[in-house]
Chain A
Amino acid sequence: MHNFKSVLDINVNGTMHTIEVKNNWTLLNVIRDELGLTGTKCGCNKGECGACTVLVNGKPILSCLTLVVSAQGQEILTIEGLLKDRKLHPIQQSFIERGAIQCGFCTPGMIMSAKALLDSNPRPSEAEIRAGINGNLCRCTGYAKIVEAIMAAAK
């Protein structure tokens, strides 16, 4: 007798959700398809591009390689959770002002990695910024303005 489902409590962007999930769903599947939060993107589905980056208990992780069932009781922050009363987070504002966004597909994951970096290291060096976003691929910008935007947001 198989049991392929579980009931889960997860906190996403400050809201508690109790949902029935299939064990084989990834956190990315659930965020996008069940909770309708499509800001987090699927770039490769095997943990190589970083587009699916969300924060779990403040740490950046790859939601495509995280089973949703293992997120029981965790606090998850997605790009949608950065807005406070519809006001942009300083990192989002900085990305916009510095031209750090082109096609926008890598942007949510990139901003989440940037947030995690600045939360743990408020005054990073350029090398530390590049290391902090090394797990997020971007094909459009060459990273130059992304690094500038994060540096500017740090000040």
Chain B
Amino acid sequence: MKTIKEFNYFTPQTVKEGVSLLAKYKGEAKVIAGGTDLLVMMKDRVITPKYLIDIKSISAIDILTWDQNEGLRIGALTKIFSILNSDVIREKYFCLHQAAESLGTVQVRNMATIAGNICRSSPSADMLPPLLVFDAKVTLVGPGSERTVLLENFFTGPGENVLNNEILTEIKILPQKRPSGTAFRKLGRGSEDLAKVSCAANIMIANDKCEDVRIALGAVAPMPIRAKKVEEAITGQKVNSKVIEGALEKVAEDIAPITDVRSSAEYRTYISRILIKGVVDEAMKKLGAKLDA
């Protein structure tokens, strides 16, 4: 931990301005929104940008909207506390609300942006699994270009992603085709648990069977991941305990947890199963359905 190295500071008023600054100072510039992750990295000298581009004045990306055509649009400046206080998110994207609530401290919720969480690309960030289970997409704007990337494809490794001199301006979640049950859980009652494993599920039931299910986990792989083998084992089946137990056996194929000071890989795998079972159960209850024996 050291003093922050000196930098030039910009407050662009538009995305275009921001992007052109980023391109101009290629490699030596960083975008800052809430700053909770970035400033810690700068104090630890993990990164030492000479140029900081503060996007806080770009009003175009300070939005949080929902409509039945576009679905949910979360602008890059949206803070976690806005996610938490949003009625539409609590109603229609409940596990995202739960993740925001679980983020332990008032101060961090007031400062951190969900976009910043995504760009930090930590494998254990709580906000990411819920976004994954809604097939969230992110809009990345570069000099003279704009692309939309599925969040699942955004992460490339711990702390790494596909951003290439671009600014992430928005997160989009399309309206769901039919009602679904969603839930988010992580271990422990306290705000920060030791294993850090978190899990979100989004399940759609039709004709008594699982029409579609998405399950995402954090802190069990180099990136937040979808547990696709587990999902496959549940899709199309009647969702009962037997099917779930069978699906849970596939967890080890989907994840690659590490052993560190907080927990062992073994325990994380074990906890992943517990959490998946818990979120599926809870998600099913939201639909009024039950995990019968």
Q: Which residues of A contact B (CB under 8 A)?
A: 2-4, 6, 22-24, 26, 45-47, 50, 53, 59-62, 65-67, 69-70, 113, 116-117, 131-132, 134-135
Contacts and interface: CB of A to CB of B under 8 A. Distances in A.
Interface string B25-47: 00000001001100110011000
A2 B1 contact: no
Contacts of A67: 9, 32, 35, 39, 52, 54
8 pairs of A and B residues whose beta carbons are closest in the complex? A135-B105, A24-B4, A23-B9, A4-B6, A135-B107, A59-B110, A65-B39, A62-B107
Nearest to B110: A59
B54 A70 contact: yes
A47 B108 contact: yes
A66 B110 contact: no
B240 interface: no
B5 A2 contact: no
A66 B111 contact: yes
Contact of B8 (A4, A46, A70): A4
B1 A23 contact: no
Nearest to A22: B6
A136 B249 CA distance: 41
A131 B106 contact: yes
A135 B8 CA distance: 31
What is the interface residue range for chain B against chain A?
20 to 34
A24 B105 CA distance: 25
Contacts of A62: 36, 107-108, 111
B107 A2 contact: no
29 contacts: A2-B50, A3-B8, A6-B9, A23-B6, A23-B52, A24-B4, A24-B7, A26-B39, A46-B40, A46-B44, A47-B40, A50-B107, A59-B110, A60-B106, A60-B107, A62-B111, A65-B111, A66-B35, A66-B111, A67-B32, A69-B9, A69-B54, A70-B56, A113-B107, A116-B106, A132-B106, A134-B105, A135-B104, A135-B107
Interface in B62-111: 81, 104-108, 110-111
A98 B8 CA distance: 48
B100 to A, nearest CB: 13
Interface in B97-156: 104-108, 110-111
A65 B7 CA distance: 16
Nearest to B3: A24
A101 to B, nearest CB: 20
Contacts of B164: none
Contacts of A132: 106
A45 B7 CA distance: 19
B191 interface: yes
Given A2-B50, A4-B8, A22-B6, A61 B43 contact: no
Which of A4, A6, A113 has the largest number of chain B CB atoms within 10 A? A4
Contacts of A22: 6
A116 B109 CA distance: 13
Given A59-B110, A61-B111, A70 B105 contact: no
